């Protein structure tokens, strides 16, 4: 595994003021280092701080105190515009509810991160088609989310998360809206992304999902209460380009029946 540090958190705190005297300390001084090619799962009960951790790691919020280095750059005190740019260039997101734009087609949804980065969609079209093919949706480029099953929508989200060739992929309960079979197929796809060199940080409440990670961080009362090392990270797993992930679809492509079967289990 590469020694490149993707995430370094030092004394990270987050407080929310609810009313004049009620202060909630969601994060109470967290330290964390994640190197390139890692697969980290974050678990914890409601109120443990894992959702706050997710928002801060994803540059969706900023800490009250402490520092967060993403790819060696301190993003904890960045102005909003710079923070937005860092988020768009360095992080790929996979959400439980997919967060696809219903008015856009499959290929257009994959292109969304590039649009916000000001990249030429015409020049990136072929690369986005390659990503669609990689997740088994090359024949559905002009379909819209309402025409897809839950499993297919999550595959679009995975392709979209790779469009900007991010430093890491942040997955928030990525199988929460899927039936068990389709959820396993999505997790196998994430496994393959990690095997291809992508750094994965996954937030989950499901122990079976967390078992796939190299490290599991258990949060409690705004702190990392304990860490479980589950697997030795393969050597040489540094940052890879999208082209290094082309085999993902061959290993995980489900049957049409399996995808169709997930439609009724999915939240739209």
| 57 dihedral zone (left: phi>0; alpha: psi -120 to 50; beta) | alpha
pLDDT tens per residue, range 64-112? 999 999 999 999 999 999 999 999 999 999 999 999 999 999 999 999 9
Position 121 pLDDT exceeds 90: no
The three-state (H, E, C) secondary structure of 35-57, written as one string: ECCCEEEEECCCCCCHHHHHHHH
Q: At what angle do helices 180-195 and 150-162 cross, to 10 degrees?
A: 20
Q: pLDDT-derived band of residue 3, with 50, 70 and 90 as boundaries? A: confident
Nearest to 136 by CA among 160, 152, 112, 157: 152
59 contacts: CB under 8 Å, gap ≥ 6: 70, 75, 83, 84, 86, 87, 91
Q: How many H-runs (helices) and E-runs (strands) does the chain carry?
A: 9, 10
Strand partners, 220: 223
CA distances from 59 to 6, 11, 191, 207 (A): 14, 16, 24, 26
Tokens of 94: 């996979």
Query: Are the CB atoms for 2 and 239 separated by under 8 Å?
Result: yes
pTM score, two decimals?
0.84
Nearest to 57 by CA among 33, 25, 79: 33
Model pLDDT, residue 215: 96
pLDDT tens per residue, range 200-210? 999 999 999 99
The sign one gets for the Cα dihedral 235, 57, 165, 200 is: positive
d(CA 104, CA 156): 12
Query: Are the CB atoms for 88 and 113 separated by under 8 Å?
Result: yes
Spell out the domains of the chain, with CATH numbers in brackets: 5-265 (3.40.50.300)
């Amino acid at each position: 595994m590469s020694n490149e540090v993707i995430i370094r958190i030092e004394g990270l705190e987050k407080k929310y003021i609810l009313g004049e005297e009620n202060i909630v300390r969601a994060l109470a001084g967290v330290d964390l280092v994640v190197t390139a090619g890692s697969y980290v799962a974050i678990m914890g009960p409601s109120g443990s701080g894992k959702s706050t951790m997710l928002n801060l790691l994803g540059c969706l919020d900023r800490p009250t105190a402490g520092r967060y280095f993403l790819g060696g750059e301190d993003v904890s005190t960045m102005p909003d515009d710079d923070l937005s740019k860092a988020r768009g260039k360095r992080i790929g997101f996979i959400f439980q509810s997919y967060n696809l734009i219903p008015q856009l087609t499959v290929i257009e949804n994959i292109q969304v991160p590039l649009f916000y980065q000001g990249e030429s969609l015409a020049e990136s079209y072929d690369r986005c088609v390659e990503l669609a093919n990689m997740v088994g949706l090359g024949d559905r480029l002009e379909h819209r989310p309402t025409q897809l099953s839950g499993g297919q929508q999550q595959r679009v989200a995975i392709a979209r998360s790779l469009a900007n060739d991010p430093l890491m992929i942040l997955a928030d309960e990525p199988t929460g809206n899927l039936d068990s079979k389709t959820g396993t197929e999505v997790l196998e796809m994430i496994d393959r992304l990690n095997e291809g060199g992508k750094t994965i940080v996954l937030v989950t409440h499901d122990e079976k999902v967390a078992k796939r990670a190299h490290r599991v961080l258990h949060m409690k009362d705004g702190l990392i209460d304990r860490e479980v090392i589950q697997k030795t990270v393969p050597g040489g797993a540094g940052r890879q380009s999208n082209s290094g992930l082309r085999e993902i679809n061959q290993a995980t492509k489900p049957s049409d029946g399996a995808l169709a079967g997930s439609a009724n289990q999915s939240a739209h």
